Homo-oligomer: A and B are copies of this chain.
Amino acid sequence: MKKNMKAEIISIGDELLIGQTVNTNASWIGAELSKIGFSITRCVAIPDSKEDILNALSAAKGKVEIALITGGLGPTSDDITKSVLCEFFGTRLVSNQVVLEMITTMMTRRNFQMNENNRRQADVPENCRVLLNETGTAPGMWFEKGGTIFVSMPGVPPEMKHIMTERVLPELKTRFVSQAIVHKNIMTYGMPEAKLAGVLAVFESELPPTVKLAYLPSYGIIKLRLTGKGESFEAVRDSVSVQAGKLCKIIGDLVYGEDEETMEMAVGRLLKEKKATMCTAESCTGGSIAHLVTTVPGSSAYYKGSVIAYSNEVKIEHLGVPAGLIEMNGAVSREVAEAMAKGSRKAFSASFSVAVTGIAGPDGGSEEKPAGTVWISVDSENGTVSRNFTFGTDRIVNILRFSIAALNMLRQEILRAK
């Protein structure tokens, strides 16, 4: 394997500079290239301007193994990337027959008439290798100059990802990655990063030199990524697998899944395994838990529904929470959370229910129950468990953190069930 393979990401488009579009393409490409062992030396976003594009291409030439370029391949007059590439690589645009046929087929299927703009999408620099794009009209283009590979791709995220996944990453792996690289993510919830790092200090210090551990935190979830490198794929895979096993033994209680599994995916997986169903009763999360659960394709197999009880009347009428209970304990209390969970499980005839009542903020808190306070209750055949948490004052963050905490409690109860 070549040591220290370097890559640069060049994102073209005025919309990135004026803040209209967040540059998620650069993050995605950075993550994918990191995974196969490239160091990203920089990401640069520049306007649709000939001078800036030429400067960026020149700056990358000879400095990095590969420059990945997105954007500026559309059919309108502000999309100039192709003509600038021609200037940089000393060539001219020619129509590519295969691409033209693909576009024609695509247009025919959508009942659109081919026009001049569509036909222009099939024009590519004569000395490039075309990277076919089955998901859109702009193909990718592969150039090599001065020891650097330049790949130009459309800025539309699904099209870029398609070309990267199907065409670019496989070739980069073949050409640059003679070493085997194996990743394994262990998804954890329930312990802050600093504390987790303490718990795992000895484990980390005893890792073989070929395996590294990284912490990737997000809203209470911490992804632990083990990366192994070595000569033989089998040996690296086994080594990473052994370390993952050790890791899970140390922090088993915190582990909810592997690789890219979200908390809502883990809940769905367990429910399917147990042939069980769930429902929700949400107050302060206002549908966010239901929304997370139902973003998972196929969730209709186990998700029954929810009552979102934003007012006390709804809690009383639709979840059967006794009015006196709210009066005595307040709507944000263990007692009300438990009554909501029991009421919704009964109403929806589900195996599991999770109920949330709290104060998302920024207003509505008190000294005793500040914004960020939440009671979560899970009800099932095994009984009812309840916990309270106190997070911060940011409404949007609280709604998300409450939701993930609730899904994790639900997950633990599903695991406990026979």
Given A19-B27, A287-B306, A308-B308, 8 additional A-B pairs, CB 8 A: A17-B42, A22-B23, A23-B43, A287-B293, A294-B399, A295-B395, A295-B396, A305-B318
Q: How far is the CA of A363 from the CA of B298 in the complex (A)?
A: 8
Contact A17 B45 (CB under 8 A): no
B residues in contact with A303, CB < 8 Å: 286, 310
Chain A contact residues (Cβ within 8 angstroms of B): what range? 35 or more
Q: Are B30 and A43 in contact (CB under 8 A)?
A: no
Q: Nearest chain B CB to A250's CB is how many angstroms away?
A: 23
Q: Does the CB pair A42–B42 fall under 8 Å? A: no
Binding site for B on A (CB under 8 A): 16-24, 26-32, 34, 40-47, 52, 216, 280, 282, 284-291, 293-295, 297-300, 303-311, 313-314, 317-318, 347-349, 360-364, 395-396, 399
Nearest residue in B to A364 (C-beta to C-beta)? B300
Q: In this complex, what residue of B is CB-closest to A403?
A: B291
Shortest beta-carbon distance, A294 to chain B, in Å? 3
Which residues of chain B have C-beta atoms less than 8 A from A307's C-beta?
305-308, 318
Q: With the chains together, A67 CA to B34 CA distance in Å?
A: 28
Distance in angstroms from A212 CB to nearest chain B CB is: 12
In chain B, what residue has the closest Cβ to A307? Answer: B307
Q: Within the assembled complex, what's the spacing in Å between the Cα atoms of A34 and B23?
A: 17
Q: How far apart sit A77 and B361, CA to CA, in the bound complex (Å)?
A: 35
A311 contacts which chain B residues (CB < 8 A)? 300, 304-305
Q: Which residue of the partner chain B has the closest CB to A20?
A: B216
Give bound CA distance, A295 to B20, whole Å.
Answer: 22
- Can you identify 11 A-B contacts, CB atoms within 8 angstroms? A19-B27, A22-B22, A22-B23, A23-B23, A41-B47, A286-B290, A287-B306, A297-B363, A297-B395, A300-B310, A303-B310
Residues on the B chain within 8 Å of A318, using CB: 305, 307, 318, 347-348
Min C-beta distance of A305 to chain B, whole Å = 4
Docked CA distance A59–B7 (Å): 20
* A16 / chain B contacts, CB cutoff of 8 Å: 27, 30, 43
Minimum distance in angstroms from A282 CB to a CB of chain B: 8
Task: Tell whether, in the assembled complex, residue A27 and residue B22 are in contact, meaning their CB atoms are under 8 Å apart.
Answer: yes
